[in-house]
Amino acid sequence: MRNRPIRLLAAPLLALVILVAVAGPASASAETVGGCMAERFAEAVETYHGDVEEAAHDEAVQDQLEKCFEAPSPILPELNEIIWGGGAFLILFVLMVKKGFPAVQGAMDARADRIRADLDEADQAKLDAQSVKVIYEARLADAKSEASRLIDEARGDAERVRADLVARAEADAAGIRERAAAESDAAKAQAIADLRAEVAAIALGAAERVVQSSLDAEVQAHLIDAYIDEVAGADG
Amino acid sequence: MADAAVTGYAEALFAVASAEGDLSAVEDELFSFAQALRSNDELRSTLADSNVPAARRLQVVDDLLDGRASATTSVLVAMVVGAGRASELPAIVDAFIEHSAASRNKAVATVRAAVALTADQRDRLAAAIKTATGKEVEIRVVEDPSVLGGVVTEIGDDIIDGSVRRRLNQLRESFR
């Protein structure tokens, strides 16, 4: 960055050297042989006051015309061209230094700033992306741990539910067994009671029939007399 | 305790029977009729049915008592049935007999037995009850085959049960 002004000055100097080197042939090539000869022949005619034939036979004129065939310097331009070219170059150079260079410098600085800002922005974006990545990775880790926790919790719940169901089923089975045993005992007791009542009814029926068949008039009279004696004996 | 209507009718029966002078016969006939009414559900429901015309019910009473009871008894039964108190007639007769016995300073002993008691048995039983309870009683016998044998005596709220039925029931209870 510090060598930039030197490079900027070296560029127009190099252009000046190239211009000096090339301007000569360019100017020489601009003045044609025919033009040269026509110009010099016109001067000779004018010298001879319009006598063309005299001018054409004059050896001095012919020498001058022959010189038109000699090429100008291939390196050095005409002096006036150097002056004008140099002046133009200096004006252009000054304009470039005063106006162009700051503009170019500003544009370059702006571009550098923009690139720097872009780079900073890219760095920031990279940092943001990395932070987002870290956040996502943390969330992913959290999600994995949460999923693992949920799975463990679900397994624990399932195990508890299974244990509860087993315990309830065992309790129900025990209750069913107890009820069945109680019902069986009750049914057994009821059957015994029914059987006893049935036997009693049969026995009583038989006894009643025997009593009825044995209660003739004599027995009835005896029973009544015995009753009267019993009442009479129950004094008070 | 008999209600006022039962007592009132009983006193009316007693007054009429006393006025007619055949109280003892009326007591026996009314007691027999009341026992027949107790043991015959169809007769009791017919005489107590308010849907049956009073003339029809009185005709039934006449058919039942004609030639079997005195005119006083027939009139008294017709009076109670005609007043629509047939369902209460047994209770009225019981109150009447108790009232009549009380007028003689006696209590009524209702004796249920499978067979009828002889006069001697009645007298001895009355004497035995007097000995046991100190009460002079008049014996009213009800023949009840369900007693099977022996005697059940009811004097007011007191019951002296010497029946074969009671012994069979005790035997039944012992099986339980």
Per-domain residue ranges of chain B: 4-101, 106-174
pLDDT the model gives residue B2: 52
Give yes or no for A230 touching B (CB within 8 A). Answer: yes
Q: Say how many Å lie between the first and final Cα of chain A, rounded.
A: 152
pLDDT the model gives residue A4: 59
Distance between CA atoms of A127 and B156, rounded to whole angstroms?
A: 119
The CATH number, out of the four listed (1.10.520.20, 1.20.1090.10, 1.20.140.10, 2.40.340.10), of the domain defined by the range B4-101? 1.10.520.20
Q: Is 0.85 exceeded by the ipTM?
A: no
Q: Which residues of chain B have pLDDT under 50?
A: 1
Mutate to test the interface with B, among A195, A209, A215, A231 (most CBs of B within 10 A): A231
pLDDT the model gives residue A20: 57
pLDDT the model gives residue A26: 44
Task: Using the predicted structure, report yes or no on whether residue A46 has a pLDDT greater than 90.
Answer: no
Report H helices in A69-100.
79-95
Residue A14, CA atoms < 13 Å, CB-side half-sphere: 6
- Partner-chain residue, chosen from B148, B150, B176, that has the shortest CB–CB distance to A224: B150
Task: Using the predicted structure, report yes or no on whether residue A24 has a pLDDT greater than 50.
Answer: no
CA distance B28 to chain A (A): 22
R_g (Cα) of chain B, nearest Å: 17
R_g (Cα) of chain A, nearest Å: 73
Q: Cα B90 vs. chain centroid, distance in angstroms?
A: 6
For A83-135, how does the pLDDT look when each residue is reduced to its tens digit (9 = 90+)? Answer: 998 999 999 999 888 888 888 888 888 889 999 999 999 999 999 999 999 99
Mutate to test the interface with A, among B115, B120, B135 (most CBs of A within 10 A): B115
Distance between CA atoms of B141 and B111, rounded to whole angstroms?
A: 5
Which pairing describes strands B107-113 and B137-143: parallel, antiparallel, or unpaired? Answer: parallel
pLDDT the model gives residue B134: 85
Distance between CA atoms of A231 and A224, rounded to whole angstroms?
A: 10
Q: Which residue of B has its CA nearest to A228?
A: B125
Mean residue pLDDT across chain A: 83
A137-162: b or e for each residue (b if 16 or more CB lie within 10 Å)? Answer: eeeeeeeeeeeeeeeeeeeeeeeeee
For A213-234, how does the pLDDT look when each residue is reduced to its tens digit (9 = 90+)? Answer: 888 888 889 999 999 998 888 7
pTM of the model as a whole? 0.49
For B112, the token pair is 């249920």
Mean pLDDT in residue range A72-79: 74
Host H or E run for residue B108: strand B107-113
| Residues of B with Cβ-Cβ distance to A197 under 8 angstroms | 175-176
Task: Using the predicted structure, report yes or no on whether residue A79 has a pLDDT greater than 90.
Answer: no
Give yes or no for A185 touching B (CB within 8 A). Answer: no
pLDDT the model gives residue A161: 94
pLDDT the model gives residue B1: 46
pLDDT the model gives residue A235: 56
pLDDT the model gives residue A12: 62
| Residues of A with Cβ-Cβ distance to B162 under 8 angstroms | 223, 226-227, 230-231
Task: Using the predicted structure, report yes or no on whether residue A23 has a pLDDT greater than 70.
Answer: no
Q: Which residues make Cβ contacts (< 8 Å) with residue A229, sequence separation at least 6?
A: B128
Distance between CA atoms of A101 and B5, rounded to whole angstroms?
A: 148
| Residues of B with Cβ-Cβ distance to A236 under 8 angstroms | 132
pLDDT the model gives residue A6: 65
Q: Are A71 and A28 in contact (CB under 8 A)?
A: yes
- Partner-chain residue, chosen from A207, A225, A228, that has the shortest CB–CB distance to B171: A207
The dihedral through the CA atoms of B79, B81, B83, B89 has a sign that is positive
Host H or E run for residue B154: strand B150-155
- Partner-chain residue, chosen from B124, B132, B176, that has the shortest CB–CB distance to A235: B132
pLDDT the model gives residue A30: 41
Please give the torsion angle defined by the CA atoms of residues A109, A111, A112 and A114, in that order, rounded to the nearest 10 degrees: 120
